Amino acid sequence: MGANMEIYKSLDAVYAQPRLAGYIRVLERAWSELDLSSVLCVNHVPTLYRIDSKSIVEPDTLIKLHRRFWNQGVARVLLVVDPKTAYLLSGLQWPLQGGHPKITDPDDADSPLLDFLELATFSEQEQTIIESVRTGDFYRVYKDKFKQTLAVDQSLTENLMSLRNHLIRSEGGPKLPDNIAHNFICRLLFVCYLVDRGIVTLDRYPGLHLHEALFKIGDAARARDYLYKLFKRLKHEFNGSMFDADLDAEKEYLTAERIKAVIDLLRGDEPDTRQPSLGFWAYDFKFIPIETISGIYEGLLPRRGKRDQGVYYTPRFLAEFAIDVAIGDNKDWHKLRYLDPSCGSGVFLVTLFNRLATWWEIEHRDQEEDANYNERKDDALRKILRNQICGIDRNEQAGMLACFSLHVALLDAFSPATISEYIKQSKFRKLPKLMESPPAHADDENYLPVIHTRDTLNLQTGNDEAFRNRFDVVIGNPPWGGKARGSGDIAFQFLEGVKPFTKHGGSACLLLPSRLFLNLSSNDFQAQWLARNTLHRVVQLADYRFVLFSEAQCPCMIIAFSPEPPAKSTHEFLYDAPKFNIASRRQGLVLISEGDRKSVPQARLRQAAEQGMAPITWKRLFWGTPRDQRFLNHLDTFPRLRERFADRKSGWIKGQGFIPDKRDRKGVLPRRWWEDSHLFLNAKSRRFGTDNILFEQDCEQVGHQFEVLYRSPDRELFLPPAILFNQGFTKFVYTDFPVLFRDAIQAIHAPAGEEDLLLFLLAFLQSDLALYCCFHNSSMLGIERDVVRLEEVLDLPFPLPADAPSKQAAQIVHKVANRLRGEKATLLRLKRNMDDAAWLDVRAARTPGLKQFLDEMVCQYFDLAESACWLIADTVNVFKPSSTPTTADKFDLPTLLPVQEAGEVSGYTDGLQAYADALVSTLNGWAEEQNSGWRVAAQGGVDAASGLALVSLTLVRTPEPYQDVPLTGSVWRRLFDTFAEQRVIERYERRIFGFDGDTFHVLRPMSLANWTRTAALNDADELFAMLQTGRRAH
């Protein structure tokens, strides 16, 4: 999973890199206020700031630098180098107040200091440190000091959410409406921004921050009067939509008691708990990017309303990434007109405005000293607002937040001294009106209606002259799911609803739920949609679900498309499926490796949709490597399990258990048909799935639990012989007695004469092969929830013995059946001499041995090659346990483990050697098939300090065992230099896969994900293709 890395040593170098357009403004401020020496970017995201000081850095200076750095919230590592010492600090640790001794103690859990090195030591280790930041291993080393919950955006969000909740719930005055609470908080932070940026000086308290002035006032009633006097002053000076509210009416709600809560929050006391929290002394709005504030404010919208409508705020880094996807390689991006159809608090609009404004500034840098420069700049930025960005949202409150964000972004484009003069001298003299208002404003030059309170999905909106076919790019994060518009996912409607807004040749880029194309019932929609639209790129972000959206109910993807049919039948689109990796600890860094990217013919997806196979096709693209795709295609040639149920007279029955109902208001639902003494299996029982045999002791009498049934399947489903399994596809049991169960349990019943085949089916369903198939085929497993639907189970390959690859298939079936019957007999015999708890322990202890036997039998039945077994084992033991991590703080995922420390993962006791042996055996197997006299031998090693691992292949006459050779910095640096000079790798791609003389090298980050046997098989294929085409590397 290589990551692009570049170090920029000047702003001129930054200006020259178009991919940094979204970060230029924050980098300008960082260079100016922090006196940066350089910025290290990973995949075009600022990651490490370096400051070189000519004098010794005192502790208070270090505290001040870190506080400013933390407030910007963009880079994650701060490196400060003075004549004696190099200091490394975390951007995910709270800042300290001046004079705090912890700043010099890296061992203190609350200190942002990660480490300090003497200058000579740092000079020796500098390249290794930089490389470890790129690979992400740096975050593993200092994992306890990179806590996303302590980031500036999350900290400020928690503070403001606490204040909002207290204001709304408090009884110190008339009940405070949500919109007034939000507008007040929004305006409060706007004042903080104006004061911290030096745009406004506080009356009677010049030089103080707002929170300091309120502390000085002390009395809550006087503080309330002071605030609203200040608001009115700013309304006169700035105007704009931010101050349209009736301030006198609002003031009646914001009583002295509520203002006291505001002061408590600013001081650092939680209003509801009186417990200490991070006070406003820590925040400096001079540094917090407006994109961050915009996202924070969207997070303040009422949670219940957001969930009902499927709305979740868009993190700043995800918005930047989506805009990069939308723009692609279009060099004229700055000339385009953009629409956000569900703009919320405006994070996309603010990000686009800043990029467009920055582009204008760079293009006119040579005119900065002109007398009328600011006037022309103001005119240019207003043209951007008028002509290039537009937002629609049903929620007027969200629109007000968007206006606020854009006002701040507009002011942010000018220096503080310039703003005060600009306000005085501008022909407008006030901020523009950005919210759509009645036609009375039509002739007002200061009326720039960027934000429209409309319903995008209403046909009248799309047909309005102001919107119809007016936009080059429609981009945004529309609502997902939701109850507000009846059944069906709103996201489908947005996917269809962008066409009226786009120009001919225009495009759309939307954040949508991953399930949209994975839903089993979406085939008809996909077939029609793919015929009418042209996909350009899909980025499946399911593995980043909880990293990007901590509250999201489902994962998301980015879809870039044009609402017009493909121009060619051979059209292909890019499908990216990045996997969470060690560098993902640095939020906003979505790394896409070569293995994560595929070029997919759109016609293939459309054909799959027409055949009812689109969800499976999409799912296989997610985790499936080329080797997996071939193996899965091979398995597709076998008959499906569902064929056992094609003939209703066969006696095979499948289904889910009954669904009870307590209401039955109309009295028409069926009643239970069983006796109280009938046995019942609870899906939540810890006894269910202890092993593969169900005993009567594992069940309970059903009693009077369920009197009314909402749905009841065929009664024969509850009769023996049958196998029962849960929807999580983790528990599988055979029963030879009648048993009831609810719909959380799925079952297959067979006629008595086919009990052996049913028992073999049990062995297959519990096998790693079946789990492998489900992981790559099931719409939800490894994407959203660990659920495998019954319909998906029925699609598993299950040839009868006559059709099975093994000539011994019939004997294998009988062998498995006899082993399972024997297991039950053995367990019943053991039960006679022990109590129930001990018996359960024995059953659990015997399960691994039984599973190993059953898995071996299944592999023999399907006649699987060793390479197929590697694919299966890696999926089950490495990839599935690593999928969709619940937090960015995860380091114990199998894919993230350093390969030399992955001994507990099945198959990787020997670490890197497992990869090397698989690669060598595959290549030597081909050489033997071709009667070649040459073989390959491998040696390899790991450099834990840099986070890199290397495997090198050489030609030999006779096979040689793998050799473990230490990897040093001088080796990998020489290889990077050599390959860069040969121009055989991407300019910034820090990985190697190619020849250096007669030796073939594979150099990658040391995480196990890069060194599995699955990776070895795919690398062998790639190496063979290189040799066939004469390429030396890629």
DSSP state of 878: I
- CATH of span 313-392+430-620: 3.40.50.150
957: CB partners within 8 A, 6+ apart: 933, 934, 935
d(CA 148, CA 522): 36
Which pLDDT score, from 0 to 100, does residue 742 have? 96
Can you say how many angstroms the Cα of residue 99 is from the centroid of all Cα atoms in its chain? 39
pLDDT in tens, 246-267: 888 888 888 888 898 888 888 8
Average pLDDT, the chain: 88
- For the record, the structure tokens of 435 come out as 């919210």
Residue 34 pLDDT > 90: yes
Q: State mean pLDDT over 138-142.
A: 91
Residue 279's pLDDT is 83
Please name the residue that has the structure tokens 């700013």.
234
Residue 445 CA to residue 436 CA, distance in Å, equals: 14
- Mutual angle of helices 347-363 and 24-34, in 10-degree steps: 70
Q: What is the mean pLDDT of residues 300-316?
A: 53
- Are the C-beta atoms of 6 and 990 separated by less than 8 Å? no
**pLDDT confidence tier of residue 177, bands split at 50, 70 and 90:** confident
Which pLDDT does position 79 carry in this prediction? 98
* 405-191-205 Cα angle (round to 5): 160
Do residues 457 and 484 make contact, with C-beta atoms less than 8 angstroms apart?
no
Can you tell me the mean pLDDT for 831-837?
A: 93
Query: Minimum mean pLDDT among 131-135, 306-310, 892-896: which range?
Result: 306-310
pLDDT band of 908, cuts 50, 70, 90? very high
Going by pLDDT thresholds of 50, 70 and 90, the confidence category of residue 698 is: very high
Q: Measured between alpha carbons, how far is 905 from 893 in angstroms, rounded to an integer?
A: 10
- Looking at residue 327, its pLDDT comes to 94
Banded model confidence at residue 580, pLDDT cuts 50, 70, 90: confident
Residue 1005 has pLDDT above 50, yes or no: yes
Give pLDDT tens digits for 265-294: 888 776 555 455 678 899 999 899 888 887
Q: What is the mean pLDDT of residues 217-222?
A: 91
Locus of tokens 């022309």: 376
Q: Quick check: 671 and 709 in contact, CB under 8 A?
A: yes
799 has a pLDDT exceeding 80: yes
Kindly report the CATH class assigned to 641-861: alpha beta
Residue 661, both tokens:
């109902």
Greatest CA separation for the chain: 99
Task: Give yes or no for residue 384 having a pLDDT over 80.
Answer: yes
Query: What percentage of the chain has pLDDT greater than the value 70?
Result: 90
Sheet holding 740-741, edge to edge: 700-701, 679-681, 740-741
Write down the domain spans for the chain: 5-148, 153-288, 313-392+430-620, 641-861, 897-1029
Mean pLDDT of the 231-239 span = 79
Q: What is the pLDDT of residue 304?
A: 44
Q: What is 880-949 written as a DSSP string?
A: HHHSS-S-TT---SGGGSBGGG-TTSTT-TTTHHHHHHHHHHHHHHHHHHTT-S-EEEEEEEEETTTTEE
Cα distances (Å, whole numbers) of residue 390 to 408, 433, 443, 808:
17, 13, 19, 68
3-state secondary structure of 261: helix
- pTM as predicted: 0.88
8 A C-beta contact, residue 328 and residue 537: yes
Determine the average pLDDT of the residues in 550-554.
Answer: 63
Say if strands 77-81 and 113-118 run parallel, antiparallel, or are unpaired: unpaired
Query: Residue 115: is it exposed, middle or buried by C-beta count within 10 angstroms (0-12/13-18/19+)?
Result: middle
Residue 240 has pLDDT above 60, yes or no: no
At 953-971, the pLDDT tens digits run 999 999 999 999 999 999 9
Separation between Cα atoms, residue 678 and residue 702, nearest integer Å: 6
Sign of CA dihedral 811, 816, 819, 820: negative
Confidence check: pLDDT of 9 > 90: yes
Would you state the pLDDT for residue 550?
A: 60
For the residues 791-809, what does the mean pLDDT come to? 96
Lowest mean pLDDT among 482-486, 495-499, 695-699: 482-486
Average pLDDT, integer, range 900-905: 95
What per-residue confidence (pLDDT) applies to 803? 95
Residue 313 pLDDT level (bands cut at 50, 70, 90): low
Q: Looking at the predicted structure, is the pLDDT value of residue 763 above 80?
A: yes
- On whether the CB atoms of residues 241 and 403 are closer than 8 A, the answer is yes
313 in Cβ contact with 299 (< 8 Å): yes
Task: Give the Å distances, CA to CA, from 364 to 333, 334, 336, 907.
Answer: 17, 14, 19, 60
Report the distance separating Cα 789 and Cα 719, nearest Å.
22
Alpha-carbon Rg of the chain, whole angstroms? Answer: 32
- For every residue of 146-157, DSSP letters joined together read --GGGSHHHHHH
What is residue 237's predicted lDDT score, i.e. its pLDDT?
A: 74
Q: What is the mean pLDDT of residues 189-206?
A: 88
Residues 578-595: what's their mean pLDDT?
74
SS3 assignment, position 214: helix
> What band does 305 get if pLDDT is binned at 50, 70 and 90?
very low
At 594 the pLDDT is: 78
Cα–Cα dist 271/260, whole Å:
9
First to last CA, the chain: 14
- Work out the burial of residue 20: count CB atoms within 10 Å of its CB; fewer than 13 is exposed, 13-18 middle, 19 or more buried: buried
In terms of Cβ atoms closer than 10 Å to its own Cβ (0-12, 13-18, 19+), residue 228 is middle
Mean pLDDT, range 26-51, rounded to an integer: 93
Residues 394-422: what's their mean pLDDT? 80
